[in-house]
Amino acid sequence: MLNERSKKVLCAVVQNYIDFPGSVGSRTVAKRYSFGLSPATIRNIMADLEEMGFLTQPHTSAGRIPTDRGYRFYVDSLVAEGDYYSNIEILQGLYNRLEALRNNIDVLLSETTKTLSMLSHYIGVAMSPMPDISTLKRIELLKYKADKVAAILFTDEGLIKNRVVSLDSEVSQKDLNRIAGYLNSEFSGHTFDEIRLKVIKEMSKEKTRCNSLILRAMRICQEALFFLHSDIFVSGLSEVLELPDFADLKKIRDLSRAIEDKHTIIKLLDKLSEFDGVQILIGSENLMDEMEKFSVVVSTCKEGDRPIGVVGIIGPTRMNYAKAIYIVDNTAKFITKMLVER
């Protein structure tokens, strides 16, 4: 459908647009990339590419700029060729700083976003695994105040969460230990989703309602395990505001709305986390109105098949994809190593 020559021209246009702001004309392409073709020929090809939806004109008599579809083609051929960036030294230096934080996953992820945004000059994002599908490793209950208990949740993914829950009556630490023991024997090794179901089922049993220990245990679970959510970290908005792409206010508003709506971002990243390797969504592929001018490049850190975190970059569709892919890929691998070895 697209002959070799058209492909080359398309990629040249996209590349040039990424490298230099401003629409790209036939003359530029003919000159800068040596096709041995005259501007007129390039013009014809570009007209064809426009017809096919890879390029568009901001206005008659301007050059062409890529559409989302154009970027997609470019990125796909980039990935196919494995033609990324490469200067590992710079990365390594920044990663070293993160080494010291490996014990505390939330601090690690939060700092990782800063590193990502520094490296890429785009927005860095990172997300801890979705609690719903995380598996509980252990729960500990510590008496906190007379009728409050701090529940410490450990997951197989290495997350540690603490939540305070209120009880209807005072309970001794000894009783709490018994309750915790019971909960661990029942729920350890199950995902939070499963546990929630079990709790609901258990609560409806006659037997449970009579056994005050189990009843208490279930109540605590209800409060402690519901409404858990992924932690998400975002940083580097000020980086992208320096880019010429963000000259207009509307775009900035959209972006800031999008990144403040953590819930939606979490869903987006979660959906991507089932795949392996670097995933890329370009412009409207995001399926979020506010994000239609932006691209997302992410990779999921996995231990076996289980996601243990997501890292990535958000930037304008006119993004240096080669560099972004390279950075995200390496950062994900680095974080994976740190989290798995932990």
Partner DNA sequence: ATTAGCACTGAACCATCGAGAGTGCTAAAA
Partner DNA sequence: TTTTAGCACTCTCGATGGTTCAGTGCTAAT
Q: Applying CB under 8 A, which residues contact a second copy?
A: 103-104, 140, 142, 144-145, 148, 150, 152, 154, 160, 162-166, 223, 235-238, 241-242, 246-247, 249, 252-253, 256-257, 260, 342
Picked from DNA, a second copy, none, the partner binding residue 249 (CB below 5 to 8 A depending on kind) is a second copy
Q: Which does 237 bind (CB under 5 to 8 A by kind): a second copy, DNA, none?
A: a second copy
**Would the CA dihedral through 263, 335, 96, 152 be positive or negative?**
positive
28 binds DNA (CB under 7 A): yes
- Name the strand (E) or helix (H) holding 263: helix 262-272
d(CA 39, CA 62): 14
Which partner in DNA, a second copy, none is near 211 (CB below 5 to 8 A by kind)? none
Q: Please say which residue, 63 or 315, places its beta carbon nearer to DNA.
A: 63
What Å distances lie between residue 216 and 145, 184, 190, 247, 297, CA to CA?
16, 14, 20, 57, 45
Of the pair 56, 177, the CB lying nearest DNA is at: 56
User: Least distance (Å) from a second copy to the CB of residue 321?
Assistant: 24
Rg (Cα) of the chain, in Å, rounded?
25
Alpha carbon separation from 75 to 43, 68, 69, 134, 282 (Å, rounded): 23, 10, 10, 33, 9
Q: Which is nearer to DNA, 60 or 96 (CB)?
A: 60
Query: HSE (CB half, 13 Å, CA atoms) of 42?
Result: 24
Which is closer to DNA, CB of 19 or CB of 76? 19
Question: E strand or H helix at 48, and its extent?
Answer: helix 39-51
Per partner kind, with CB cut-offs from 5 to 8 A, the member of a second copy, DNA, none near residue 235 is: a second copy
Beta strands 55-56 and 232-235: pairing type? unpaired
Q: SS in 3 state form for 152-177?
A: EEEECCCCEEEEEEECCCCCCHHHHH
- Residue with smaller CB distance to a second copy, 143 or 196: 143
Q: For DNA, which residue of 14, 46, 126, 240 counts as binding (CB under 7 A)?
A: 46
Part of the chain binding DNA (CB under 7 A), chosen from 21-29, 142-150, 213-221, 227-235: 21-29
Q: In angstroms, rounded to a whole number, what is the distance separating the alpha carbons of residues 151 and 219?
A: 12
Site size for DNA (CB under 7 A): 25
Q: Which does 142 bind (CB under 5 to 8 A by kind): DNA, a second copy, none?
A: a second copy
Which of 8, 33, 41, 138 is the binder for DNA (CB under 7 A)? 41
Question: Quick check: 61 binds DNA (CB under 7 A)?
Answer: yes
Residue 37 found at the interface with DNA (CB under 7 A) = yes
Q: How big, in percent rounded to 5, are the helix, strand and coil portions of the chain? A: 55, 20, 25
CB of 162 to a second copy, least distance (A): 5
Give yes or no for residue 11 binding DNA (CB under 7 A).
no
Longest dimension (CA), the chain: 87
Residue 216 near DNA by CB under 7 A: no
Q: Please tell me whether residue 36 binds DNA under the rule CB under 7 A.
A: yes
CB 46 within 8 Å of CB 26: yes
Contact positions vs DNA (CB under 7 A): 23-28, 36-41, 43-44, 46-47, 50, 57-64
